[in-house]
Structure 1
């Protein structure tokens, strides 16, 4: 009737970003832009290229896992894809690469959607249902549009319709916005919003990003909207950066949603069971109930004072219900409903309170734990490269510090840095150089840079006045 049960791998999965769009809208190029590299098995071109669903994930080495193998791997959150059969699994793959961006998220690249009905019948699997499966598990859904191709094909329309109920996850990206002039961009934006308004039946306006994510900028691009496009692109990247921070809360949100659906489902099944006659006319009564599901839902809603939004779509529910014998449904167990109510009222809110809050803003003194005893010192440049840093060697120490949202504070790191025996003025300089985003916290990259600089000083090297660009990690955010 609804989704498959959540597995441990679903709960433990990294935030998922789902890219949906028609062919050649820049979905795969966007992924390459984020990763600063190609992922295994990618194809980019003006013609329809990506012909399969690709899960781009972090891995210790570059490799491709075929769909059938990925669907039975208990460490991957894709076991539920077995329901779509061999026809789909042969068009699905997991591409693992070593990009640090993927340490915080998984990106789903989807086939470019074409116009026409032929592909609807010849895919061998239900494209819309697959999109819906990924959308239920995604933390962010990006609808990609090309500034030169604003038409919405029938299959793209069905894919957008499958996102109903998940509007809070959906963002619209008008890609290649620098391929039109400022005046043309205004008209393109208006035309796209008009087209979306006919497909997306919601009173709220979707968030739209005007962006351009070229790995190599084409010569025929326009610069009159460059500042606007750069600002919009940064907003989108900021949304991606926030995914990890809110991932745990979204998991709880999904559990709450499922608990509410399970409660309503139990009440519906119990109500239909009670409506069935005990002896004769069962088949006729079942047909009558199926044809009047909307009225039956209204009765349940009034009896238990439930919101309309918790009830499923009557037509879709009817299709699933028609395969069952209502007379064989089980009666309602009130104690189970009470347990669900207890979980929704107390257990899940208590679980929410256990999650750490956002890292607080720090004072200037707290931003650098060695600031008080820091002394100015003229030091020369250094020419190390970030790739020479062994992050894996520093990971166990970093994990022992108990990172929150992937970061640790200066007070947490100070004892570790003090163990090296360097004077405080050098430690203050190392902190300033390593905390390159100047937020007063260290993530694994910054912690690894700090330990790398300490090793360099211990070997007789001098600290640079400014962190060289080559020591900065290769990441977009």
Structure 2
């Protein structure tokens, strides 16, 4: 069956690949997939990966209770509506909507979507017609979606509503998407922090993908700064109980829509948080290959553990009588088998599948049809992890140079992230940017106090030596490394002395840094004193 697995094959050196994605496809099909198929991995954990899984653009999954602003968040990113959009205070989105790029706007229903060989949704057929009737793809012609795709999910219910059966495995669908997306954004409403039972189960379904999760506290402009502090603390407390991670989760606070802020006292905070989040999302295309590598490594480790579990159960089964009794006993004592495998093969506990879910899945299988351990299959996967994966990782920097892709998401709200034209761009008119485009030298606004200090230091021939100027500069209490950088920027003549203009510039840069702004690496033209510009 596995004729390709010869000893000569195993002696060959590492393979060479044309690209990282092509390499991932090849090593998956030739080295990991045989192990998965031999031990029925796809029936227990995750469907077989197809080419579109490797070729797909980065995807963002939005998850949250109803009316937390998921659909509005997408509209805010795109700066336009998409087919099928519905926004309201009640649960308006009752379906999974994959918002993707298309030359023409339109909708592809779920049943047609899963048979499209160019899309990665074929495995979703296992969730049945009840799900497929509530799944669609909305095509939108916008530059944003040339870099990413976004998945809107049904609003998670609370109270009595969550008792209603959706008719399909909701958390199972979330798990499928979580395994394949690049970012998972959990949205919370500043007025609705309670985590319902269904939301808790949904968050638990995302475990194992903590590195992909970003948390957004939305609609934060609806409360004042004092309430916001309390809400933030309450959210962190609730998340600590559900996520069960030792690290404190990063929460982005803001109001992700295009309407006036109710309380704008936190405008600056919202701008900073929005910039951080959008820069993270913008970087997804650049990091897509690395994410796919990481996911394949996690899958390979799980497949190896699964092989050990299945072969251990096969080994314990009797040859003739008492098979049913032994099967029940093995399922009941699966935790002990986990411990034994962990000790024998030095495997981390975090690599094992969830115990209860594995027990439930095993109850539907015939243990006598399981296969014993095939060390050769495992050796191929070990070699893949040790050599092929390492080679693909080394290719990523080189591929970025030889086959450059658009490193950032463009269009929509992302244009505002890099806005350097309008006066409303991020931090425009602040710090070193203050005064740019204006005819008057910005330093002149505070020039009188700088000149008074300059004269008090007793300049000689209109200049201060470094040792004299240092007395005034160290009064700022900034570190010497920072003051040294300010000196280099201010000493425009590079003669080791500061004249009145240069000293005023130095004190202006100190004020900028003390106010919490960053210093430039080079002096912008609008900060150069007029008397120095000709030179």
Instruction: Sort the TM-score into its range (normalised by shorter chain).
Output: 0.7 to 0.9
State the Cα distance separating 1:161 from its structure 2 match. 0.9
Check the 8 A contact 2:65/2:188 in 1, yes or no.
Answer: yes
Quote the RMSD (CA, aligned, Å): 1.9
CA distance in 1 between counterparts of 2:326 and 2:377 reads: 28
Structure 1 residue aligned with 2:114: 71
Unaligned residue ranges in structure 2 (runs of 5+): 1-43, 409-417, 422-535
What is the aligned counterpart of 1:143 among 173, 181, 186? Answer: 186
What is the aligned counterpart of 1:43 among 86, 99, 107? Answer: 86
Q: TM-score, normalising length from structure 1?
A: 0.74
Is 1:122–2:165 an aligned residue pair? yes
What is the aligned counterpart of 2:309 among 268, 271, 278? Answer: 268
Check the 8 A contact 2:93/2:153 in 1, yes or no.
Answer: yes
Is 1:327–2:368 an aligned residue pair? yes
Alignment of 1:104-119 (within 5 A): 104-116=147-159, 118-119=161-162
What is the aligned counterpart of 1:299 among 334, 340, 355? Answer: 340
Deviations 1:345-385 (A, max 9, x none): 1111111111126979xxxxxxxxxxxxxxxxxxxxxxxxx
Deviations 1:208-260 (A, max 9, x none): 00011122225xx0111110111001100011001111111100111111111
What is the aligned counterpart of 2:214 among 167, 171, 181? Answer: 171
SS in 1 for 2:48: coil
| Greater C-alpha radius of gyration | 2
CA distance in 2 between counterparts of 1:46 and 1:305 reads: 52
Check the 8 A contact 1:55/1:106 in 2, yes or no.
Answer: yes
Is 1:83–2:126 an aligned residue pair? yes
Q: TM-score, normalising length from structure 2?
A: 0.67
Check the 8 A contact 2:109/2:133 in 1, yes or no.
Answer: yes
Please say which of residues 127-136 and 279-288 is displaced more in the overlay.
279-288
CA distance in 1 between counterparts of 2:337 and 2:403 reads: 52
State the Cα distance separating 1:17 from its structure 2 match. 0.4
State the Cα distance separating 1:436 from its structure 2 match. 8.4
Structure 2 residue aligned with 1:465: none
CA distance in 2 between counterparts of 1:405 and 1:345 reads: 30
Check the 8 A contact 1:135/1:141 in 2, yes or no.
Answer: yes
CA distance in 2 between counterparts of 1:305 and 1:89 reads: 42
Q: How many residues of Structure 1 are paired with residues of Structure 2 in the alignment?
A: 369
CA distance in 1 between counterparts of 2:162 and 2:382 reads: 45
Check the 8 A contact 2:283/2:407 in 1, yes or no.
Answer: no
SS in 1 for 2:277: helix
Alignment of 1:230-379 (within 5 A): 230-356=271-397
CA distance in 2 between counterparts of 1:349 and 1:251 reads: 13
Check the 8 A contact 1:15/1:243 in 2, yes or no.
Answer: yes
CA distance in 1 between counterparts of 2:318 and 2:254 reads: 61
CA distance in 2 between counterparts of 1:332 and 1:160 reads: 35
Relative contact order: is structure 1 or structure 2 higher (C-alpha 8 Å, sep ≥ 6)?
A: 2
Check the 8 A contact 1:22/1:112 in 2, yes or no.
Answer: yes
Deviations 1:49-91 (A, max 9, x none): 1121100000101000011111111111111110110001111
Structure 2 residue aligned with 1:14: 57
State the Cα distance separating 1:102 from its structure 2 match. 0.6
Deviations 1:384-434 (A, max 9, x none): xxxxxxxxxxxxxxxxx8424548xxxxxxxxxxxxxxxxxxxxxxxxxxx
Check the 8 A contact 1:64/1:96 in 2, yes or no.
Answer: yes
Structure 1: which 4+ aligned runs deviate by more than 3 Å? 116-121, 357-360, 404-407, 435-438
Please say which of residues 118-127 and 33-42 is displaced more in the overlay.
118-127
Structure 2 residue aligned with 1:403: 404
Distance verdict in 2 for CA 1:191–1:8, change over 3 Å: same
Check the 8 A contact 1:286/1:326 in 2, yes or no.
Answer: yes
Check the 8 A contact 1:32/1:215 in 2, yes or no.
Answer: no
Distance verdict in 2 for CA 1:297–1:353, change over 3 Å: same
Distance verdict in 2 for CA 1:212–1:404, change over 3 Å: same
CA distance in 2 between counterparts of 1:235 and 1:99 reads: 22
Check the 8 A contact 1:54/1:109 in 2, yes or no.
Answer: yes
CA distance in 2 between counterparts of 1:359 and 1:177 reads: 38
CA distance in 2 between counterparts of 1:48 and 1:350 reads: 48
Structure 1 residue aligned with 2:27: none
